[in-house]
Amino acid sequence: MNIVFIMSDQQNKNALGKINPQYITPNLDRLANDGVLFKNAYTPSPVCLACRNCLMTGKFPSTTGIRRAKDRPRDQDIQLNALMKQSGYNTAYVGKYHLAGGGNGPIPDFAKKGIDQMMAYQCYNGFKPEPPFNNKVVYRDVDNIETHFDYHRTEVTTDLALNFIEDLSSKSDPLYIFLSKFYNGYPIKCILSHKFFLN
């Protein structure tokens, strides 16, 4: 069984057509109908890094000690990606990572355990017009080699995920992809051509 885990960062639960017809999200609605839709989910923390760490380790922030955005996850905590790899999956991570720091810095090796392929960034990416950023959309692969893109990071993340799905689905082992979308629900960041949510 192949698994594509989609996490849309900072999305209100009501911003889904299946829940609220005010929103037009045909692809997400189709995923909700054909996959799993969690209607009663609660975050273990309002802080991004603490919540993501909980999701990846299965441990509460009170256990891991990760409560603030600047806290660093412990090397010894086993992450979901490593468990999927141990279970025989080809693994990939695409999009916002934010498990080991902020900005566009390198992703530490301990945070990449069990990931075969990666195109990700730590946190903020692609919307700082002043130098040295100049609105660059920067992703890093599993070896921390930077790739720059000149279009919206939401579309970049979608394109990269589709490429990984095509590549990994051709292999004999099942695939597991963690797809982390950032700023899907903000009207000021919305793009009309967004393939994943609108087409």
Residues forming the active site: 48, 98
- Select from 22, 41, 150, 21 the least CA-distant residue to 8: 41
How far apart are the C-alpha atoms of 184 and 199, rounded to whole Å? 15
DSSP-assigned states of every residue in 10-21: T--TT-STTT-T
State how far the Cα of 74 lies from the Cα of 58, in Å rounded to an integer.
Answer: 13
Residues in the chain: 199
Integer Cα distance of 158 and 38 in angstroms: 22
